């Protein structure tokens, strides 16, 4: 298991803190710092992939939510911003940009003429399907150093950690700065 003996940047930092502050348990850094560094690597890689399709992560999130909804690939603006955990103002800005790009359109809600639905255009469906395929391939590449069993274990542990935060905060407020990809 040569992988277990290799040292990363976090090991170096933790070793320094253990030397300088032996009175302080810095073991959480071994998890949090690695998650933080990985998050930056992942975000950069995801942004590069989506940029090939003329999208950023927040735009992809909207298109992906519409695509996941299934035929006829439309949702109300409220359903969209609730599913993406963003404010209505942030959703309005995203929808205006995606409409200008020809990827979504606003259509009358057949159940309530006073309301509108946001629908994928044929061009939007093509772009999101192509971007999703590249995005998932990229995610496989990003996790290639882990076995399937290691991925399942990591996913289970991260779910447990995330549920603790979500339970604590009850998802009380929209999080504009953290789009949910895919």
Q: Same structural domain for residues 81 and 18?
A: no
Question: Would the pTM of this model clear 0.85, i.e. be above it?
Answer: no
- The residue among 72, 144, 145 whose CA lies nearest residue 105 is 72
Q: What is the pLDDT of residue 175?
A: 47
Determine contact, residues 127/55, Cβ cutoff 8 Å: yes
Q: Same structural domain for residues 38 and 91?
A: no
Both structure tokens of 28:
């959480």
Both structure tokens of 168:
């604590």
pLDDT tens digits along 49-79: 999 999 999 999 999 999 999 999 999 999 9
Q: What is the pLDDT of residue 4?
A: 66
Q: Same structural domain for residues 38 and 95?
A: no
Q: How many helices (H) and strands (E) does the chain have?
A: 8, 3
Q: Same structural domain for residues 91 and 120?
A: yes
Q: Same structural domain for residues 22 and 67?
A: no
Q: Same structural domain for residues 91 and 6?
A: no
Provide the β-strand partners of residue 120: 104
Q: Domain limits at 84?
A: 52-182
Q: What is the pLDDT of residue 70?
A: 96
pLDDT tens digits along 110-157: 888 889 999 999 999 999 999 999 999 999 999 999 999 999 999 999
Q: Same structural domain for residues 64 and 18?
A: no
Q: Same structural domain for residues 32 and 72?
A: no
**CA-CA distance, 101 to 50, in Å (whole number)?**
15
**CA-CA distance, 75 to 84, in Å (whole number)?**
12
Distance of CA 18 to the CA centre of its chain: 34
Q: Same structural domain for residues 37 and 67?
A: no
Determine contact, residues 19/35, Cβ cutoff 8 Å: no
- The residue among 142, 107, 111 whose CA lies nearest residue 124 is 107
Q: Same structural domain for residues 19 and 80?
A: no
Which of the 8 DSSP states describes residue 116?
Answer: E
Total domain count for the chain? Answer: 2
Both structure tokens of 43:
């975000």
């Amino acid at each position: 298991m040569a992988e277990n003996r290799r040292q990363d940047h976090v090991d170096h930092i933790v070793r320094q803190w253990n030397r300088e502050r032996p009175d302080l348990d810095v073991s959480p850094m071994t998890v949090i710092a690695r998650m933080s560094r990985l998050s930056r690597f992942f975000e950069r890689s995801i942004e590069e992939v989506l940029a090939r399709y003329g999208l950023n992560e927040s735009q992809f999130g909207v298109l992906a939510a519409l695509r996941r909804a299934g035929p006829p690939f439309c949702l109300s603006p409220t359903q969209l911003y609730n599913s993406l955990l963003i404010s209505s103002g942030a959703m309005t800005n995203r929808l205006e940009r995606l409409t200008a790009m020809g990827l979504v359109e606003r259509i009358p809600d057949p159940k309530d003429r006073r309301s509108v639905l946001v629908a994928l255009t044929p061009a939007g469906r093509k772009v999101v399907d192509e971007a999703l395929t590249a995005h998932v391939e990229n995610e496989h590449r990003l996790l290639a150093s882990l076995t399937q069993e290691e991925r399942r274990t990591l996913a289970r542990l991260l779910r447990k950690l995330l549920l603790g935060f979500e339970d604590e905060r009850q998802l009380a407020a929209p999080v504009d700065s953290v789009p949910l990809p895919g």
